[in-house]
Amino acid sequence: MIATDLAGDPMAADPKAAGPMSGSTTPRGNGYGRLWRRLPAELVYLLIGFPIALTGFGIVITLFFTGIGTLVTFFIGVILIIGALYVARGFGTLDVILIEWTGRPAIPRPEWQDARAATGFFGWLRAVLGNGHYWLYLLHTMVVDFVVKTVTWTITIAWLSITVGGLTFWFWDMIAPVGVGDWRPSQWLLPNAAIDHQIADRILGMLVGVLFLATLPIVTRGLTSLHWLIARGILGAWKSDALQREVVTLAASRGAAHSAEGHSLRRLERDIHDGPQQRLVRLQMDLAAADRQLATDPDQARILIAEAMQQSKDALEELRALSRGFAPPILLDRGLVAALESAAVRSTVPTRVVDELPPGAEFAEEIERNAYFVASEALTNAAKHSGATEVEMVVSLVAGVGSDLALSVTVTDNGIGGAFSIAGHGIAGLQGRMRGLGGTLELSSPAGGPTVVTANIPVASPASVP
């Protein structure tokens, strides 16, 4: 939620939006009171800003133009220019941190990483020189910040001087009063008034000091907001950065989804080969043997047929178990919670299902299927490897990215713990499946337990939850 302060700039309602150094929540009270609460931090920023900007200006302009002048040697010139870019990045980042410390909304950081940097020296060179953020930070440090901070620092010093001078004029006027016959401001304002102009000047100075003091927080807020706007426009991330990160994330998610799907298919193939396929082969052999002995030894043939029937039943049960691991009929007919309760009943470890979903919540079939798959896999792992005597499965809705929600499934067992993710095995496969869906899977399993597996699957839209 966005609120608006007296100066008309957005204030982040979230405490984190106030910047990493603020450590405070949004102040309460009227708008003018909020200005006064931010005044100390804003004054510190405006007063130390000019010395910092002057230092950055001196260092960066020296490095940059020395690098330009030595470009004929290429190596030295380029290194100096890159040094100027890195120093400018440091001063720009420091400015952003200080602005956020004053209570201004957080400024999104640029994307500095570039895949080209990992390809060697010349790749790193292209990554730095080809990144527009470095050049904007250089422009900010060499020109914009130095000029603007010179102006705002001068205004701040002048305002403070008039404030302090006006409030203390009566004291200095008593120590070193203006000589008799000297011109006084009150004589210009009230030339014909029969008053003591010395007392009138002291009152006038006090009024000017009070006026400048009363407007001081408004001035500091305006100057700080100006710096924030400049930093947001020059030093902040671009929309294209977010799009680029999203493309990279989607590519990684797609790769993870393909890998997880391949892992699931290989496991299904292995399970079918080691289970139902072997039983069906045995069934075929028993029926062939029974056919050969049907005429000569009917009793032995009946024994073989009975064994074949048992093999067929076992194969059918194994196939049903395999299908339940992916999408059991109860999941399609009665929903996720009923399917989890069915899995809990079949588990060899006593399992309790806790339903914290809103009444009538419905999700896409793909989301429910993957949630069930993760939960059943975690339950199976707990039964096989944890030595647990009790398992709890909790299904709920939690806050996701932005305004979206996420379907959360948490499986907790009281076993020995010590579980970890190994590439190509169960937990890693589940993590890859979650990444493919844009979700997460977290594992906590300290030695001695408990083991907690939490899967969060993004829900496409809050509207999908009645």
Q: How confident is the model at residue 193 (pLDDT cuts 50, 70, 90)?
A: low
138-147, 169-178, 326-335 — most confident range: 138-147
Please choose, from the candidates 136, 110, 139, 134, the residue with its C-alpha nearest in 3D space to the C-alpha of residue 124: 134
Q: How confident is the model at residue 422 (pLDDT cuts 50, 70, 90)?
A: low
What's the mean per-residue pLDDT of the chain?
Answer: 76
CA distance 308 to 285: 9
Q: At what angle do helices 197-234 and 75-101 cross, to 10 degrees?
A: 120
Q: How confident is the model at residue 336 (pLDDT cuts 50, 70, 90)?
A: confident
Give phi and psi for 131, each to the nearest 5: -90, 115
What is the percent of the chain where pLDDT is above 70? Answer: 71
Higher pLDDT, 314 or 86: 86
Q: Comparing 49-58, 196-205, 410-419, which segment has the lowest mean pLDDT?
A: 196-205
Higher pLDDT, 359 or 175: 359
**Domain boundaries defined on the chain:** 2-237, 257-324, 334-464
Q: Comparing 97-111, 184-198, 201-215, 414-428, which segment has the lowest mean pLDDT?
A: 184-198
Model confidence over 273-303: pLDDT tens digits? 666 667 677 777 777 777 777 777 777 777 8
CB 84 within 8 A of CB 135: no
| 331-362 exposure pattern, b = at least 16 Cβ within 10 A, e = fewer | beeebbbebbbbbbeebebebebeeebeeebe
CA distance 337 to 165: 73
The yes-or-no verdict on residue 257 having pLDDT over 60 is no
The pLDDT of residue 198 = 66
Beta bridge partners of 398: 406
CA distance 286 to 283: 5
The yes-or-no verdict on residue 444 having pLDDT over 50 is yes
CB 427 within 8 A of CB 384: no
The yes-or-no verdict on residue 21 having pLDDT over 90 is no
The pLDDT of residue 318 = 64
The alpha carbon dihedral of 181, 184, 189, 190 has a sign of negative
Please choose, from the candidates 145, 319, 158, the residue with its C-alpha nearest in 3D space to the C-alpha of residue 235: 145
CA distance 413 to 389: 8
The pLDDT of residue 110 = 84
Edge to edge, the sheet with strand 440-444 lists 351-355, 391-399, 405-413, 451-458, 440-444
Q: How confident is the model at residue 252 (pLDDT cuts 50, 70, 90)?
A: low
CB 392 within 8 A of CB 359: no
CA distance 91 to 195: 56
Q: How confident is the model at residue 386 (pLDDT cuts 50, 70, 90)?
A: confident
CA distance 375 to 430: 10
CATH T-level assignment (fold) for domain 334-464: Heat Shock Protein 90 (3.30.565)
Q: Tell how strand 351-355 and strand 391-399 pair up.
A: parallel
The pLDDT of residue 58 = 94
Neighbours of 46 (CB within 10 A): 23
Higher pLDDT, 295 or 35: 35
Determine the longest span between alpha carbons in the chain, in angstroms: 146
